[in-house]
Each structure stands twice: as C-alpha cells, then as structure tokens.
Amino acid sequence: MSTFITVAQLMLSLSILVILHECGHFIPAKWFKTRVEKFYLFFDPYFSLFKKKIGDTEYGIGWLPLGGYVKIAGMVDESFDTEQLKQEPKPWEFRSKPAWQRLIIMLGGVTINFIFGFLIFATLLWKNGSEYLPSNEMKYGIYTDSISKAMGFKDGDLIVGIQGEKLERFERGRIIKSLVLDNKNTVNIIRDGQAMDLVIDADKISGLTKPENKEMEIWGVRVPLIIQEISPNSVAEKAGIKSTDKILNVNGSTNNFVNEVYPILKNTDTKNFDFTLLRGIDTLHINLTRKENDK
C-alpha cells in the first residue's frame, strides 16, 4: 500500500509540474490569438487514454508519463509535425506572430516553472523558517581542520564577529565571504573565556579559494560524544554499547567531541577498540573488534 501511495504522489507531482509548464505556453498563445491544436498531459504515441475537443483545442491524457506538450499551429514541437509548414502562414499560426510574441510563448513554460519553484520555496521558508545556530549557543565552540589551524584557530574557539561586526549566527559561508570578498582579515573570537582578535595573513585567506580546498570543512560545530542511536545487530550493539552512553576515551586517547573520535573510527586499519563510556554515574570499559566488512 505504501508503494502505491508513493507512486501516486510521484505521478500527481509530475502531473502538476507538467500542466503548469504547458500552461506557460498555452496561456500566452491564446492571449496572442494563436491556435492551440492540442494540450496533452503525458505523451500519446499511437493512442491516448482520454481526449476531448473543446473549440479548436483537443485536451487529452497520454499513456507515456515522460512529460506533456501543447501543439501550437505553425510551430514544430514535440509532435514533429512539419506538414503544416509547407503551406502559406495563416494569421492564427505561431509563425505569423511578431518575434516578441513568439519569444513569450516559447519562454512561458520555463517562466512558470521558475515562479512556481520560487513560490514553493517562499512558502516553506515562511511556514518553517530557516534553521541556524546562534553563536551564543555554541557552548563548545568550533573544531578546526588543517586550513583553519594554519590561520591560527584552535578547537574550542568561539567566533563572535568579523572585524568588529557581530555575528548573531554561525555561518561558514558568511565568514568565508567576509574574508575573501570583503577584504576583511580580522576574526573576533573568544578563546578560553577571553575575547581576542585573530588577524589572518593574506596568503592564508587566498588559500580558501584554491580548488583543492573546496571540499574542506574549515570550521565545524563541536558536538559532545553522546551516542544517539545504535544500529540493530551492529558490532556496537553486540558489544553492549547503548544509546545515551557518553564516550570518554577511545584506545587510550581522551576524546570528548565527535570530531576527535571520528578519525579513529574511520581508520579502516584499526580493528580493535577499547571504549571508556559514561553511563549515568557509572564508568564502563568495553572492548570491540571490528571485522572486515563492519562499519
């Protein structure tokens, strides 16, 4: 039943998009008194599932759900009907209309799609708002990679402003834009409870634009190592690790944040792990052995 509902939702969504797109061609064509011979949802090679002629236009539903089309007199479209072009142009044909009218008819579908997409995005943004992390709620600050470390940042720094301009929310893109495009070189941070200004060298800033650094995270939000979920039948579940456990130590290395333990777990050469966990008020030691195909 769920599969049927999913397919039905997909077909309904596709139908709405196709109809709106074709209306973008159909409406200006009618407005400019151009004859529309067919308006079809989905394609209809050989036969159609439904059709009805109203005025000069045949409205129908095809059986091939790969789009749709409007057949406008005097215009070669998805139907590839070139026979009518062998005759003299008629006043109601597309090819008889001024260039600006033909342009509007041709661009109408794309324009409608753009407007519809914008309205959907605006509605979702109005209804749900946009998610962001306020700077004053970054309790554990940032974590750094090789690029930000070279700039002078340290794990735990809290970025609060750029050259005196206060940052209300943590936004990597805005920080990079200010450094690269706005020619700012000073980041206001709080380190170990003390406010300070971090002046970044120009060559370090220029490194942000290098193609090889495109996928680098540069800064991230430090998150405490509290396990949220354990996959059923996983190695962790079999070893006795539970959700809400807090990881204190992995293989003798003190770890308090996700970015610290992730490289250890990601290392495919490491097969044996010794976890120190905090569960409630109890400290536990759990040994875990990862097999070849385990993640």
pLDDT of residue 145: 87
* Tens-digit pLDDT profile for residues 28-57: 999 999 999 999 999 988 999 999 999 889
pLDDT of residue 84: 62
Between residues 294 and 51, the one the model is more confident about: 51
Cβ neighbors of 261 (< 8 A, separation 6 or more) are 225, 247, 250, 255
Other CB atoms within a 10 A radius of the CB of residue 232 amount to 6
pLDDT of residue 293: 57
Cβ neighbors of 21 (< 8 A, separation 6 or more) are 68, 109, 110, 112, 113
- Residue 143: pLDDT above 80? yes
* Tens-digit pLDDT profile for residues 183-204: 899 999 999 889 999 999 988 8
Average pLDDT over residues 102-118: 92
Q: Do 151 and 200 meet the contact criterion of CB atoms below 8 Å apart? A: yes
Q: Write out the DSSP string of 31-63.
A: HTT--EEEEEEEEEEEEEEEEEEETTEEEEEEE
Is residue 251 very low, low, confident or very high in pLDDT (cuts 50, 70, 90)? confident
In three-state secondary structure terms, 289 is strand
Q: Do 116 and 95 meet the contact criterion of CB atoms below 8 Å apart? A: no
- Residue 170: pLDDT above 90? no
pLDDT of residue 85: 64
Averaged confidence pLDDT in the chain: 85
Q: CA 183: distance to chain centroid?
A: 28
Q: Structure tokens of 117? A: 């997409």
pLDDT of residue 83: 65
Average pLDDT over residues 136-164: 89
- Residue 86: pLDDT above 90? no
* Tens-digit pLDDT profile for residues 254-267: 777 888 787 777 76
pLDDT of residue 23: 94
